[in-house]
Every structure is written in structure tokens, then in C-alpha cells.
């Protein structure tokens, strides 16, 4: 890189440092691993003042690194017990062993990091490898970087570069190794042993300027290398009593913080020039610090942290105390195809928090999404688990119907269907019910319900059975009853006739007649005057509604009454328990 290029980077970095210095630091906290005292100590992130011993117990012995996980809890690598331990992120209370000794070959863990894929990558010093674990459960997945790959010896830290690849520092004079960020395959030695005097490399990190900063333990210096080429750029920080630099990080104020393993301090250097700014932590109680982590003054919480796709979570971004001016905070999602957030949110002047909604979409399998809030270089994040929807309900309208009519079915999920839709299997034990030919109904992507039609056949007797819907591991059933038709009406045309003239009558059912037809009984109150007859004129006691039909007509034959007044005759039709009657008036 030429002189002009370096000046340009310096100018950009200077501008960034100034902008960060304008941000409120109130509530920022610093957590430092004290190796020999077996504890994580908490300090004020703005002043360096000791607050308390935040995490201890649980068997921690030789903590080398601590970090807050996506769930907000504090995770600590216990070097001498070969474990990753978990502590409550609010109280520091021990919550249990997250990854136990020997799991996947875990031996002397020194550093770890979560990635957006939800996995936890652990530097395994014992056999010079990087192990990969489930970031939520701690279950072993695989060995990401094979033991000794590329000549790696005594790895101390890992960092993902701007190119997406993995950079690992080797303490035993091996420099900085680079590995494929997707496969873990060795790529090259990015910084060779001896470059710029580098021997025992401890922590390393990419700075705001894109360059790589390495803690040179035996040199008592922080060296800077070109973040693209690995070329040595110079000694960035030294002096001010720094002895045994082990951990380093750029703080929320843009300055570089370095732990002195032998100086028992956290040193601060100007983030642009590297000039010493004095001891940040020197409380007398800190012994042999290894690595440390800032916890942002900007906090992000999520309720709930797990939900079914299609539902919304409520996120809250907060600061320790209200500010006199509005505070804009940028928001992002690691997978907008699953969870979306507004581009930004504003914490109004005089307030200490603001809420926003996280909208989710349907997924086929449980998917973790990181929601982040960014203010300067502060980027707290929370992890949201979006789960696939299950079948919530099945409904039929109506649940009892006359054969031959259709029933409206509806399946409802407890969230949104995934890409490609949710195919819900359908079945029935009712012999009079017919389901869609596909035997299923599909809930469209990002929809929660779908309708289908159940067709029924005319029946002579009641048929009962279940209609069942099944999706994933959930099955829902509703009983469907198909009944035979009942008598709906009896009509008469005309209703008044002179004796000797016929009248036509019609019986109507509530549904279609089944196979073989449906016989309706007929009766008259005065057969001498009015009598139901068939087409040949013979008296009949019933009329049959043909299969698949709703009605049937018959003739009522009348006789002269021989009376000077009208004669009223009641004609009755009966089907089962239902009867209908109409009065026929026969005139002289």
C-alpha cells in the first residue's frame, strides 16, 4: 500500500474514532477473564472502575475467553477443565456446563465465536484444531479445522476476516494461518512467523480500518498487518507498561484495549495512532488477565425468543438512561427471507427505549435468525428461533348434512405455511363422503389456512364417519354425519276443483333421493271424493321420488260429490316421522 493509501485509511479511521467518541458510553460494561483467580470480573465500560466479580464457581479454572451468546447469557472457556461453561447474563449465576470435557475431542479450549449459521466455533488448543458445535444446544457437529492443518501449533484465537475466511493465530511460532470460512480447508499462512518480529501470537482482530492487529506476547507489542495481503505495516501499540499482551479489542469508543497478562492491567491505546492513553483497568484485584469483552450500552431484547413462522415478536432496543437528543439505531436481520425488521428505529429524546416488531415468514424447518441493532460499532444481537407451523384445526360446515349436498372444509395452521406451501393430507371413514381427488389440500406459502370441499352422496340411511387432516406430526378429526332426505313440502295445483276433475300434487324432499328412489306414503281423508292415483288411474298409497331427484308428482282423482256444498278433503304425504297435509276443495 502506498503512502497516499495509508493516509486515506488514517483519515477514515480518524473520522470514525471522532464519531464514536460522540456516542454516549453510559452503561457500557467490560468483562475480563482473570486466569489464575478463576473468575470473570466486571468493570464500568466508560471509566474502568471495578464493579464486581460477575461470574465464578461452576468449576471454572483458567478462564481464557468470555462472550455473551445470542441468548444473552455469558459463556466462558475453562481452559484447565476442558469445558465451556454458561452463566446467567443478568446475574452471573452459574447455569451449567454448556460443552463438557472431551465432547467432540474438546481439550483446553481457548477461544470461541458464534457465526450467523447458528454454530459455535471453538479453538481447541489441546490438538490444534477448531471444533464446531450447535450454538443453541452445545451438541458436537464436526471438526471444522483438522488438527495441525497447515502446520498449526498451539492456536490461540480465531477471527473472521472481511473476505469471510477464518484466521487463526498460533502461539508456537507459526504466525497467522488462513482457512476457508466455509469448509475449514487450509488456504495459506497469511502472516508468516517472524514477520515484523512476530513470534508468539496471542489474540488477533480486524480493526475498523480493515487491517489485522495481532498481540505479540513475547514482544510486548501490538503489530499491524495489511488486512488484504498480510504485509507488515508496523508496530501499532507498545509501551505504557504493557507486558504479555494477550487479549485485544477495539472498544465502543474506537480505541484499542489490550490485556497485559503480566502487567495485570487493561491498557488503552489511541484507535488511530496507537499512542498510549494510560491504564484503563488497574484495580489491584485483577491478576493475569487473558481476554475480555465489552457489553454494549445499547441493549436488545426479544419477546418471545422462539415462535412459529408467521407470527410477530416484539423487540426492545434500550440504553441505560435517557439522552437529550434522539438516538437513531440501525436494525438488521441475518435472514430477511425468514424474519424482517424495520431499517431503523429512533429512541426519542428523554426516553431510554423503543420497541419494534419482528415479522416472520413460514419455514419448513426450525431456523435461527439473528436480529441486530447497530449504533456505531456497537452491535448487540439476539437470536430468534423461527419454527415451522403445525396443524391447528380442522373444521367442517356443516358437520351434518343431507346426502347429495356439499360440506365446506377448512384447515388452519398455527402459523404460516413454508415456501412451496403446506400439503395437508385428508382422509375419511364416512362411506358417503368424497374428498378432493388429490387426497390433500395445500395451504399456500405465507398463508395460515385453506379451504376444500367434501361432496356427499344421497343415502337411504344415516352414515357417520370421520374426516381427518394430517400435517407434520399433528392430526385433527371431525365427525361428519350424512343423513337421508326428509319430506320438505307437499303442494297442490289447483287446490280447488269441481268434482270429477283431477288435481296435481307434488312432494319435495330436503335432498336428493338415494339409489332405488325414496318412497313417500300418501293418504286421503275421503277416498270416495278424492283419491291419489297412478298414471293408469289405479289408487296408490305412495309415490317414489326417483334416485338423484328432489321431487315427484302424482294425481289426485276426484268424484262428483252430489252435494250442494263444497267438500274438503285432506291429502297427506309422510316420510319417516315427517308428514305434510294439504286441503283439496271439491266443488259441486
**Structure confidence by residue, pLDDT tens digits, 247-292:** 999 987 889 999 999 999 999 999 999 999 999 999 888 999 999 9
Q: What is the pLDDT at residue 117?
A: 80
> Do 454 and 433 meet the contact criterion of CB atoms below 8 Å apart?
yes
User: Would you say the CATH fold of 487-586 matches that of 299-387?
Assistant: yes
Q: Of 104, 128, 509, which Cα lies nearest the Cα of 119? A: 104
Q: What is the pLDDT of residues 56-100, one digit of tens each?
A: 999 999 999 999 888 889 999 999 999 999 999 889 999 999 999
- Rounded to 5 degrees, what are φ and ψ at 461? -140, 160
Top-confidence residue, 563 or 101 = 101
pLDDT range class, residue 21, cuts 50, 70, 90: very low
C-beta neighbour count of 102 within 10 angstroms: 12
Q: What is the pLDDT of residues 294-335, one digit of tens each?
A: 887 788 999 999 999 999 999 999 887 677 788 899 999 999
Q: What is the pLDDT at residue 8?
A: 32
Q: Could you write out the DSSP letters of every residue in 445-459?
A: BT-SEEEEEEEE---
Which sequence spans correspond to the domains of the chain? 299-387, 391-483, 487-586
C-beta neighbour count of 468 within 10 angstroms: 16
Output b/e per residue, 303-320; b: 16+ Cβ within 10 A: eeeebbbbbebebbbbbe
What is the DSSP-derived secondary structure letter of residue 9? H
What is the DSSP-derived secondary structure letter of residue 444? P
Output b/e per residue, 271-285; b: 16+ Cβ within 10 A: bbebebbebbbbbee
CATH number of 487-586: 2.60.40.10
Say which residue the cell 340411511 belongs to.
461
In this predicted structure, the answer to whether residue 143 has a pLDDT above a threshold of 60 is yes
Bridge partners, residue 479, by sequence = 466
Q: Can you tell me the mean pLDDT for 375-393?
A: 88
User: Cell digits for 225?
Assistant: 498487518
Q: Can you tell me the mean pLDDT for 354-379?
A: 90
Q: What is the pLDDT at residue 520?
A: 96
pLDDT range class, residue 377, cuts 50, 70, 90: low
Give the E-state strand segments of 49-127 in sequence order: 50-56, 63-68, 74-78, 83-87, 94-99, 109-114, 119-124
pLDDT range class, residue 441, cuts 50, 70, 90: very high
> Do 190 and 167 meet the contact criterion of CB atoms below 8 Å apart?
yes
> Do 302 and 382 meet the contact criterion of CB atoms below 8 Å apart?
yes
- Rounded to 5 degrees, what are φ and ψ at 482? -115, 120
Q: What is the pLDDT at residue 172?
A: 83
In this predicted structure, the answer to whether residue 7 has a pLDDT above a threshold of 90 is no
Q: What is the pLDDT of residues 163-193, one digit of tens each?
A: 999 999 999 878 999 999 999 999 999 999 9
Q: What is the pLDDT of residues 200-250, one digit of tens each?
A: 999 999 998 999 999 999 999 999 999 999 999 999 999 999 999 999 999
Q: Of 380, 465, 481, 381, which Cα lies nearest the Cα of 426? A: 465
Q: What is the pLDDT at residue 381?
A: 85
Question: Residue 3 in 3-state DSSP?
Answer: helix
In this predicted structure, the answer to whether residue 535 has a pLDDT above a threshold of 60 is yes
In terms of C-beta distances under 8 Å and separation of at least 24 residues, what long-range contacts does 430-438 make, across chains too? 430/463, 430/464, 430/465, 430/466, 430/467, 430/480, 430/482, 431/463, 431/465, 432/403, 432/456, 432/457, 432/459, 432/463, 432/465, 432/482, 433/407, 433/457, 433/465, 433/467, 433/480, 433/482, 435/467
| CA 123/CA 177 separation, integer angstroms | 13
In this predicted structure, the answer to whether residue 422 has a pLDDT above a threshold of 90 is yes
Q: What is the pLDDT at residue 22?
A: 37
User: Which CATH number fits the domain 391-483, given the four candidates 3.40.47.40, 2.60.40.10, 3.40.50.20, 3.30.750.24?
Assistant: 2.60.40.10
Q: What is the pLDDT at residue 467?
A: 98
Q: Of 359, 355, 328, 357, which Cα lies nearest the Cα of 344? A: 328
| CA 167/CA 150 separation, integer angstroms | 12
Question: CA torsion sign, 377 to 383 to 384 to 385?
Answer: positive
Question: CA torsion sign, 456 to 462 to 463 to 467?
Answer: positive
Question: CA torsion sign, 303 to 305 to 306 to 307?
Answer: positive
Give the E-state strand segments of 261-352 in sequence order: 265-269, 276-281, 289-295, 299-303, 306-308, 312-318, 327-333, 339-340, 344-347
Q: Which percentage of the chain shows pLDDT scores above 90?
A: 82
299-387 under CATH 2.60.40.10, yes or no: yes
Q: What is the pLDDT at residue 27?
A: 53
Amino acid at each position: 500500500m502506498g503512502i497516499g493509501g495509508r493516509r486515506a485509511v488514517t483519515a477514515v479511521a480518524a473520522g470514525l474514532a471522532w464519531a464514536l467518541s460522540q456516542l454516549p458510553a453510559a452503561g457500557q460494561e467490560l468483562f475480563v477473564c482473570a486466569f489464575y483467580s478463576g473468575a470473570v470480573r466486571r468493570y464500568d465500560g466508560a471509566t474502568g472502575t471495578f464493579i464486581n466479580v460477575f461470574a465464578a464457581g461452576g468449576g471454572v479454572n483458567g478462564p481464557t475467553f468470555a462472550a455473551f451468546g445470542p441468548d444473552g447469557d455469558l459463556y466462558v472457556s475453562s481452559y484447565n477443565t476442558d469445558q465451556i461453561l454458561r452463566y446467567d447474563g443478568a446475574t452471573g449465576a452459574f447455569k451449567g456446563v454448556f460443552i463438557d470435557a472431551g465432547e467432540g475431542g474438546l481439550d483446553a479450549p481457548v477461544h470461541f465465536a458464534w457465526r450467523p449459521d447458528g454454530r459455535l466455533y471453538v479453538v481447541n488448543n489441546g490438538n490444534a484444531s477448531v471444533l464446531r458445535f450447535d450454538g443453541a444446544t452445545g451438541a458436537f457437529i464436526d471438526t471444522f479445522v483438522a488438527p495441525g492443518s497447515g502446520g498449526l501449533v498451539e492456536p490461540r484465537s480465531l477471527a473472521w476476516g472481511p473476505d469471510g475466511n477464518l484466521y487463526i493465530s498460533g502461539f508456537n511460532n507459526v504466525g497467522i494461518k488462513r482457512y476457508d470460512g466455509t469448509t475449514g480447508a487450509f488456504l495459506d499462512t497469511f502472516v508468516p512467523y517472524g514477520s515484523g518480529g512476530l513470534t508468539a501470537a496471542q489474540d488477533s482482530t480486524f480493526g475498523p480500518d480493515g487491517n489485522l492487529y495481532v498481540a505479540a506476547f513475547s514482544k510486548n507489542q501490538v503489530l499491524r498487518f495489511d488486512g488484504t495481503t498480510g504485509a507488515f505495516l508496523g508496530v501499532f501499540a507498545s509501551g505504557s507498561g504493557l507486558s504479555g499482551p494477550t487479549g485485544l479489542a477495539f472498544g465502543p469508543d474506537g480505541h484499542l484495549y489490550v490485556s497485559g497478562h503480566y502487567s495485570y492491567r487493561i491498557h488503552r491505546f489511541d484507535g488511530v495512532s496507537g499512542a498510549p492513553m494510560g491504564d484503563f483497568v488497574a484495580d489491584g484485584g485483577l491478576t493475569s488477565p487473558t481476554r475480555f469483552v465489552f457489553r454494549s450500552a445499547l441493549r436488545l431484547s426479544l419477546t418471545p425468543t422462539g415462535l412459529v413462522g408467521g407470527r410477530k415478536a416484539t423487540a426492545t432496543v434500550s440504553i441505560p438512561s435517557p439522552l437529550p437528543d434522539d438516538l437513531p439505531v440501525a436494525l438488521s436481520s441475518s435472514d430477511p427471507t425468514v424474519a424482517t425488521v424495520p431499517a431503523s428505529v429512533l429512541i426519542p429524546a428523554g426516553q431510554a427505549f423503543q420497541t419494534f416488531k419482528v415479522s416472520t415468514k413460514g419455514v419448513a424447518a426450525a431456523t435461527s435468525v439473528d436480529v441486530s441493532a447497530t449504533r456505531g460499532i456497537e452491535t448487540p444481537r439476539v437470536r430468534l428461533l423461527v419454527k415451522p407451523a403445525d396443524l391447528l384445526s380442522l373444521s367442517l360446515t356443516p358437520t351434518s348434512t343431507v346426502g347429495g349436498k356439499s360440506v365446506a372444509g377448512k384447515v388452519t395452521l398455527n402459523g404460516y405455511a413454508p415456501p412451496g406451501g403446506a400439503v395437508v393430507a385428508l382422509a375419511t371413514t364416512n362411506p358417503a363422503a368424497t374428498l378432493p381427488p388429490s387426497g390433500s389440500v395445500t395451504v399456500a406459502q405465507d398463508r395460515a389456512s385453506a379451504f376444500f370441499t367434501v361432496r356427499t352422496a344421497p343415502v337411504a340411511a344415516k352414515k357417520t364417519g370421520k374426516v381427518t387432516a394430517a400435517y407434520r406430526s399433528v392430526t385433527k378429526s371431525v365427525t361428519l354425519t350424512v343423513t337421508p332426505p326428509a319430506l320438505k313440502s307437499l303442494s297442490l295445483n289447483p287446490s280447488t276443483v269441481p268434482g270429477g276433475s283431477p288435481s296435481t300434487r307434488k312432494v319435495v324432499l330436503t335432498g336428493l333421493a338415494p339409489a332405488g328412489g325414496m318412497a313417500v306414503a300418501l293418504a286421503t281423508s275421503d277416498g270416495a271424493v278424492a283419491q291419489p292415483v297412478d298414471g293408469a288411474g289405479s289408487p296408490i298409497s305412495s309415490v317414489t321420488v326417483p334416485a338423484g331427484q328432489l321431487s315427484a308428482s302424482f294425481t289426485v282423482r276426484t268424484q262428483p260429490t252430489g252435494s250442494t256444498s263444497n267438500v274438503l278433503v285432506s291429502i297427506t304425504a309422510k316420510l319417516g316421522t315427517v308428514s305434510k297435509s294439504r286441503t283439496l276443495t271439491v266443488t259441486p
